[in-house]
Structure 1
Amino acid sequence: MPPTYSSSQRTSIAQFVSFTQAKESVAAKGSVNYDWNVERAIDSKRKASAEDSPVLTDMSPKKSRAATVQDQTTSMEPLSPVQDPATAASTFTATEPLSSVQNTATAASTSTATELLSSVQDTATAVSTSTAMELLASVQDIATATSTSTSEQQRVSDVENFLHFVNYVNNFYSSNNTASASTPVQQHLNKLFDTYRDSPQTEPDKILIDGAQSYLSDLSIAVDEVVHFALCDLLDVESIGEFKRKAFVSGWLNASTTTTTTTTTAAATATARPSARTATAATAQQPQPLDTIPRQSAHVSLLRKRLTSDPAYFKTIYRAAFKFAKPEHQRSVPLESALEFWKMFFSAASGGIEWNNGRRGVQWLDLWLEFYETQGKRPVNKDLWNMVGELVLKTKEEPDEQTIDGWRADGAWPFAIDDFIAWDQMDTT
């Protein structure tokens, strides 16, 4: 007569069979040997199996299924966020993705719930936030379900859910890896960046066209304004209408360290008593963190002033704009695009250097545009682009800007500019 077992004992036997693939008689004997403590019995069985053979046997169907599930994780949609990434961005301090969890997931159908949790807890140790505990709790729920499933189909379903969750966690960690900042300023900048992201799930570290337009609007920057390109230079923008997290944060951090309150305290410093002047000057040199829209907008105003007062800075921004004026993978700027960019950069109305109000009333911009549109008619290469900028600055600094021969021989000008000078002299004559 077969032995009779209580309901709890049968549950223990079923769990033993589920995790070890042993026969029921072996499962019953093992459970009895450990006073029906199924975890101890399973651990003993697994250790014994490991000593007999380092390779698990009779597991190829499940292992193949688990590998198939893992291959599918890249195409799965991430689970609903445990916490909004934009809110959680500043709370994460772990810097490594949950690779240990993903490695465990490949063998999830043959591992105990305790081992699954152990791998997650190893990673969660470095995360001292409530959000990490929420993530861990979600994994625990899945792992518990895995340990109590008795059917192969249910266990495969549990593994799929687990891998689905791991995929989300990896995406979440990846998107907030940089956001796990070590300073308050970095955390604020990452939060600010997150508010303008177009696609947090698919492009967690990019602000795309819609978000970029909103950001520029909040900074009171027009797309066709020269300071727009100064901002692109500051934030190391590679393509108009796209900001990347790393460059965004580092750009504003660098600007923060070089921006001081000197301009706001200069008057006070000048009028202060000698004994107080040193303290005032020291206060004036404290960096101003540019981690909010109002502060960044104020910095943009300083850039506008610098563009019109610092020729070297203007030249840097003008030259950097060449890559935005030309089509991608092309080496020259199309004629129409070049004319529009010159109108923008060499007009005070758009924040550039005014080239139409010469000391003797020379309308240089109009003359150049007329010449190049009627005589040049060619795409603009980088050399010509740069030398047009030099021509502008040269005419601005000339004591007698109409005496062109005086500075024409200063350097090797492109043929187009030589032709322009000859064309202008002929027209003047």
Structure 2
Amino acid sequence: MQSDQITNSDFNSYFASNGSAPLAAKEKDSLGKLFEKYRDSTDEEDKTGVNGTMRYLQDLGLNLESAEILVPLEIVQAPALAEMSKDAFVEGWKAIGADTIPKQKAYVAGQLKQLSVDMALFKRVYRHTFICSREPGQKALPLENALVYWEMIFSEPGKPWITGTTNWTNLWIEFLKANWTKTVNKDMWNQTFEFFQKTMQDETLSFWSEDGAWPGVIDEFVANVKEKRGDLPDTMETD
């Protein structure tokens, strides 16, 4: 994966416990101090920039070019890949009860092990990925960036979008590259997740109908897949 494909341009050069107990005021204060460790003097007040965010993710022991980073960014409700806010950082980790890097590292590691099997967790991370991967002030993702993130989150430690006979991620990306010229808005992003869930349960696409409420791009994708396989489930191709 080439980092220059990823949004939040300031981030491009880098793109490279005790889980239930609420924290007391002392621990909340320690979270604030921990956050300040990652805020540079040139950063906005109560925010980390690209350097601090990168250092933080590295201190958690994460692969910066994989879906691993998306888990803590969801926990702290990062508004961008290259940014964290102090309030959301403190509140996110306060709710979990992890006020030190070792505790946070252990918690994230546990979440990563569950990411591909806990669909509620995966859905939260998937949906927040759209939020933090947008450029400031933008409501949609350029297609090339959305493709990067779909490929990332539908790969381990995320949930591979693959069924017995079909690599859906490959088909989806191939189809969009050839047929989609628009940006990817929030509805398209979220509906792709719903379609992902359905196909993981039924790769024959028997759940789909022309009268359904799927976005037009998914209807066109289904038609494309059916044409490729001759509408015979046992001949579906794998890329």
Q: TM-score, with normalisation over the residues of structure 1?
A: 0.45
**Is residue 420 from structure 1 mapped to residue 221 from structure 2 by the alignment?**
yes
Query: Post-superposition shift, 1:408?
Result: 0.5
CA distance in 2 between counterparts of 1:240 and 1:391 reads 26
Q: Which residue of 2 aligns with 1:223?
A: 64
Query: Post-superposition shift, 1:203?
Result: 4.2
Query: Post-superposition shift, 1:385?
Result: 1.0
After TM superposition, list the pairs within 5 Å mapping 1:358-377 onto structure 2.
358-359=163-164, 361-377=165-181
The letter for the 2-side match of 1:230 is V
Count of residues in correspondence between the two structures: 207
Q: Which residue of 2 aligns with 1:254?
A: 95
The letter for the 1-side match of 2:100 is T
The answer as to whether partners of 1:197 and 1:208 remain within 8 angstroms in 2 is yes
After TM superposition, list the pairs within 5 Å mapping 1:95-174 onto structure 2.
none
Match of 2:116, SS? helix
The letter for the 1-side match of 2:89 is F
Distance 1:325 1:239, change over 3 A: closer
Runs of 5+ unmatched residues, structure 2: 1-22, 231-239
**Is residue 310 from structure 1 mapped to residue 152 from structure 2 by the alignment?**
no
Distance 1:324 1:245, change over 3 A: closer
Query: What whole-Å deviation, never above 9, does each CA across 1:371-407 have from its counterpart, x for those lacking one?
Result: 1100123211221111111111111122xx1x21x11
Higher relative contact order (CA 8 A, sep 6+): 2
The answer as to whether partners of 1:322 and 1:382 remain within 8 angstroms in 2 is yes
Q: Which has the higher helix share?
A: 1
Distance 1:326 1:425, change over 3 A: same
Q: Which residue of 2 aligns with 1:260?
A: none
CA distance in 2 between counterparts of 1:198 and 1:249 reads 17
The answer as to whether partners of 2:35 and 2:86 remain within 8 angstroms in 1 is yes
**Is residue 195 from structure 1 mapped to residue 64 from structure 2 by the alignment?**
no
Query: Post-superposition shift, 1:206?
Result: 2.4
CA distance in 2 between counterparts of 1:377 and 1:204 reads 38
**Is residue 214 from structure 1 mapped to residue 55 from structure 2 by the alignment?**
yes
After TM superposition, list the pairs within 5 Å mapping 1:296-375 onto structure 2.
296-348=104-156, 351-356=157-162, 358-359=163-164, 361-375=165-179
The letter for the 1-side match of 2:104 is Q
The letter for the 2-side match of 1:322 is F
The answer as to whether partners of 1:186 and 1:249 remain within 8 angstroms in 2 is yes
Query: Post-superposition shift, 1:352?
Result: 1.2
Distance 1:247 1:392, change over 3 A: same
**Is residue 386 from structure 1 mapped to residue 190 from structure 2 by the alignment?**
yes
Match of 1:332, SS? coil
Query: Post-superposition shift, 1:204?
Result: 4.8
Of structures 1 and 2, the larger Rg is shown by: 1
CA RMSD of aligned residues (A): 2.1
The answer as to whether partners of 1:311 and 1:393 remain within 8 angstroms in 2 is no
Query: What whole-Å deviation, never above 9, does each CA across 1:279-325 have from its counterpart, x for those lacking one?
Result: xxxxxxxxxxx111111100001221232111122122212221233
Q: Which residue of 2 aligns with 1:163?
A: none
CA distance in 1 between counterparts of 2:127 and 2:182 reads 19
Query: Post-superposition shift, 1:182?
Result: 6.9
Distance 1:183 1:327, change over 3 A: closer
CA distance in 1 between counterparts of 2:126 and 2:107 reads 19
CA distance in 2 between counterparts of 1:212 and 1:230 reads 14
Query: Post-superposition shift, 1:411?
Result: 4.1
**Is residue 238 from structure 1 mapped to residue 87 from structure 2 by the alignment?**
no
Query: Post-superposition shift, 1:331?
Result: 2.6
Q: TM-score, with normalisation over the residues of structure 2?
A: 0.79
CA distance in 2 between counterparts of 1:393 and 1:243 reads 30
Match of 2:40, SS? coil
Match of 1:407, SS? coil
Query: Post-superposition shift, 1:329?
Result: 2.2
